[in-house]
Amino acid sequence: MKPILPTLFLLLTIQSQAVHITHYTVNKPFCYSDKAIIRTFNMDGHRMQLVVDVNTLHTSTQLVIHTLGHPCGSSRYTKLLHKSTAAPYPVTNDGLTHQHGGMTLTTDLCPSSKSGFERRLYQALIDRFKHPVPVILFISGRWIVHHEKSLAQLHRWEHEGKLAITWGNHTYTHPYHPGKPLEHNFVLSPGYDLKSDTLKLEQTLLERGIVPSIFFRFPGLVSDQKSIETIRNLGLIPIGSDAWLAKGQLPKQGSIILVHGNKNEPKGVARLLKNISIKKTIPKLSPLSP
């Protein structure tokens, strides 16, 4: 979803690539008009709010102008929040895995020791689809801090109107322990604080002039009831996938496609590029329409 930044935020971001965020606070969503306020924070001395349009699900930032509101009731946002976090709680691929619209492409940017990113993937999208091309980037903080130039290029394509990026949350650290069972791995790792790690990623994006969306993807697609409830209490909507291309899952109408944009899973990218080049199974891409 394309960020809608207040003039103040935009000017500060242009002047300095790293604004300072403090007193980052989670709000139990309260609404005024068609907006739900989910965060308040200080940005270089200015009190700000992160808000969600309860109909379109778009996020934006604004100066604090409302401190009182009403419960968000039966809005689209509220209904989707509860639907995506309802029981049962499978260990893998919980949350929304399919949608009512066309195919949506999601690309994960997990921590990676590889330099750069899958430029060939995003360049192919720009070359072969109508601009701006909708894509969700589920991004991790540890990827950002080691790939600032790659992030800047993605951000540049967004501002040039080539990509319509929805900035999804993939946690800051994206914990992973090779060989450990799923029940004790990823966000289920002993001692891991999912809430603080998720909020740290949001702040990392805001400090770079990027507005985080309400969409969240669990690292490894691994979760349990407690972690799902944590994400729900943060006002975020977990997104899974029914077409993880590197695992051989084929996309179909309504699929949420998963590939990695960090060079860690080239097989999935190769399959996507082959499909879009011959327009075999991915004739067009759509924004997420859950």
Strands 35-43 and 46-53: antiparallel
Diameter of the chain measured on Cα atoms: 53
Measured distance CA(273)–CA(279) in Å, rounded = 10
Query: Tokens 């394309």 map to which residue?
Result: 2
**Which stretch of 13-17, 98-102, 262-266 has the lowest confidence by average pLDDT?**
13-17
Q: How confident is the model at residue 15 (pLDDT cuts 50, 70, 90)?
A: very low
| b/e map 77-111, b = 16+ CB within 10 Å | bbebbeebbeeeeebebbbbbebeebbbbbbbbbb
The neighbouring-strand residues paired with 138 are 108, 168
Does residue 100 register a pLDDT over 90?
no
pLDDT in tens, 25-72: 999 888 988 999 999 999 998 999 999 999 999 999 999 976 778 888
- pLDDT > 90: what percent of the chain? 82
Measured distance CA(207)–CA(220) in Å, rounded = 26
Report yes or no on whether pTM surpasses 0.85: yes
Enumerate the domain spans of the chain.
1-73, 88-290
Q: Are the CB atoms for 172 and 203 separated by under 8 Å?
A: no
pLDDT in tens, 73-90: 889 999 999 999 999 999
Cβ of 117: how many Cβ atoms within 10 Å?
22
Measured distance CA(290)–CA(274) in Å, rounded = 27
Q: How confident is the model at residue 5 (pLDDT cuts 50, 70, 90)?
A: very low
pLDDT recorded at residue 55: 95
Which distant-in-sequence residues (6+ apart) come within 8 Å of 168 by Cβ? Answer: 106, 136, 137, 138, 139, 212, 213, 215, 216, 217, 239
Does residue 213 register a pLDDT over 70?
yes
Measured distance CA(43)–CA(22) in Å, rounded = 7
Measured distance CA(278)–CA(16) in Å, rounded = 43
Does residue 196 register a pLDDT over 90?
yes
Given the candidates 3.40.50.300, 3.20.20.370, 3.30.360.10, 3.40.190.10, the CATH classification of the domain at 88-290 is 3.20.20.370
Which distant-in-sequence residues (6+ apart) come within 8 Å of 193 by Cβ? Answer: none
Axis-axis angle for helices 266-278, 119-128 (nearest 10): 20
Overall residue count recorded for the chain in this entry: 290
Taking alpha carbons only, the member of 50, 46, 47 closest to residue 35 is 50
Does residue 106 register a pLDDT over 90?
yes
pLDDT recorded at residue 9: 45
pLDDT in tens, 151-193: 999 999 999 999 999 999 999 999 999 999 999 999 999 999 9
Q: How confident is the model at residue 2 (pLDDT cuts 50, 70, 90)?
A: very low
Tell me the mean pLDDT in the region 221-236.
98
Report helix, strand or coil for 74.
coil
Alpha carbon dihedral 262, 266, 272, 275, in 10-degree steps, equals: 160
